[in-house]
Amino acid sequence: MKKVTIKDIAREAGVSIATVSNVMNNKPNRVSEKKKREINKLMEKYNYAPNLNARSLVAQESKMIGILYYSTKEEIDFGDPFISDLMTGLEFEAKKQGMFLMFHGFNELADIDVLQRNWNFDGFIVVGAFEHIITELINKISKPIVFIDSYYNHDFERANILFVNNDDRKLSYEATKTLLEHGHRQIAFFSPTFSLTDDGVVPQRYLGYMDALAEYELRPDEKLLFSEEEMERFIDLSSNYTAFIINSDYLAAQYLQQLRERKLRFHSFVSFDNNIFAKLLDPSLSTVDLRQKEKGRISVRQINLMLQHATQEQTMENKILVEGELIQRDSVLERKKEHGKNF
């Protein structure tokens, strides 16, 4: 059976090839709704799929966005709902915009050179990069880049770069203050390993934690700073604190599971993400909703806008702050009631 081409679709619909192309590229403003439906029915009838490589060569675009997830670990844990929520938002909007995603975890910049040699991406979305990584990526990539959950305090002149973040410092301040308002004073900070010289999400949250302690004239205690690799030690030393900030719902779930296995009581805590399991756990999590799905949707839309205005001199904003929200549930107790729950 002869393979149907875009010319065949255009001929049968009685329109130009350009009109069919507009429908495929989700540009319905250039085509009447009636004709759009007719063209889509013909493509369904013949099971027509456009030749993306040919379109890429002709239009010098691929409709592909590279999702670059930075991690210092060798393996990315896709079981973390933080990642799945973000990917849900990215994929939903990409499908809506007629674009395609390729996900790549990286911890070495050489990976980016290989990607660019082998694939024709229209733009990139980078998640969780530190300042020195961002500088290198800006130098290596000329295509539009949206950085999610990445902080950068240096000047840059390019118009096709955007940062999509929460105000992590403010949100962590509010989370810590919630614990303080419930009578807690010995408050630990439990997170992935970080350095304040790397201006990322976790350092920003640590600064917010310190801001709240300072407001109550409390000094941060280095003995109350724990990394996620120290889960057992964190639990063993629980007599040193009455409450804590924990940097993800996923980490909080692991903490609660450890307590169940050891039949120990939980301490009050606030976590981050507000993922699908936050209200299903026992106790349900008091957590900061970071609106990860919305960050994904915004990022794809902004990449598309950058591509549309690539040849125009247009000043676009280079930072978007997504409003977060503290959701209070059962994992925060008044100081005098903090040992009220035993697993």
Say whether both 297 and 162 belong to one domain: yes
Could you tell me if 267 and 122 lie in one domain? no
Give the model's pLDDT for residue 28: 53
Choose the weakest-confidence range: 50-59, 96-105, 210-219, 288-297: 50-59
> Would you say 130 and 195 are in contact if contact means Cβ atoms under 8 Å apart?
no
Residue 121 in domain: yes
Check pLDDT > 90 for residue 39.
no
Whether the pLDDT of residue 313 is over 60: the answer is: no
Would you say residue 318 lies in a domain?
no
Q: Is residue 306 part of a domain?
A: yes
Taking residues 4-23, report their average pLDDT. Answer: 85
CA 261 distance to own-chain centroid: 32
Higher-confidence position of 198 and 325: 325
**Do 130 and 185 belong together in one domain?**
no
pLDDT for the residue 2: 65
Cα–Cα distance between 213 and 114 in angstroms, integer? Answer: 46
329 in any annotated domain: no
Residues 184 and 282 in one domain: yes
The pairs formed by 192-200 with CB atoms below 8 angstroms and a separation of 24 or more are: 192/227, 192/228, 192/247, 193/227, 193/228, 193/229, 198/130, 198/131, 198/132, 199/130, 199/131, 199/151, 199/152, 199/153, 200/128, 200/129, 200/130, 200/149, 200/150, 200/151
Query: Average pLDDT, stretch 238-258?
Result: 97
Same domain membership, residue 184 and residue 238: yes
Give pLDDT, residue 343: 44
203 and 90 in a common domain: no
Helix (H, G, I), strand (E, B) or coil at 341: coil
Q: Do 90 and 300 meet the contact criterion of CB atoms below 8 Å apart?
A: yes
Q: Are residues 162 and 172 in the same domain?
A: no
- The C-alpha atoms of residue 228 and residue 248 are separated, in whole angstroms, by 10
**pLDDT in the model for residue 161:** 95
What type of residue is 336? Answer: K
Confidence (pLDDT) at 224: 97
Residue 247: which CATH number? 3.40.50.2300
Rounded to a whole number, what is the largest CA-CA distance in the chain?
Answer: 79
Please tell me whether residues 149 and 176 are part of one structural domain.
Answer: no
Q: Are residues 230 and 283 in the same domain?
A: yes
Please report which confidence band the pLDDT of residue 52 belongs to, taking 50, 70 and 90 as the band edges: low
CB contact at 8 A, 282 and 74: no
State residue 340's pLDDT score: 46
- Is 323 part of a structural domain of the chain? no
Distance CA 232, CA 53 (A): 52
Handedness of CA 213, 215, 216, 219 (dihedral sign): positive
Pairing state between β 161-165 and 145-148: parallel
- Say how many domains are in the chain: 3
Q: Give pLDDT, residue 257.
A: 97
Give the mean model confidence (pLDDT) for residues 184-201: 93
95 backbone dihedrals φ, ψ, rounded to 5°: -60, -40
133 and 121, same structural domain? Answer: yes
Q: Tell me: do 226 and 280 sit in the same domain.
A: yes
Phi/psi zone of residue 246: left (φ > 0), alpha (ψ -120 to 50 degrees), beta?
A: beta
Least confident segment among 213-227, 247-261, 281-295, 299-313: 299-313
- Is 335 part of any domain? no
In a domain, 336, yes or no: no
Q: What is the pLDDT of residue 322?
A: 97
Q: Is residue 333 part of a domain?
A: no
Q: Residue 34: which CATH number?
A: 1.10.260.40
Same domain, 162 and 297: yes
Name the token pair of 185: 């004073």
Residue 173: domain span: 168-289
Task: Tell me the pLDDT tens digit for each residue of 294-306.
Answer: 999 999 999 999 9
pLDDT tens string 114-168:
888 888 899 999 999 999 999 999 999 999 999 999 999 888 888 899 999 999 9
What is the rounded average pLDDT for all residues in the chain?
A: 89
Q: pLDDT at residue 337 above 70?
A: no
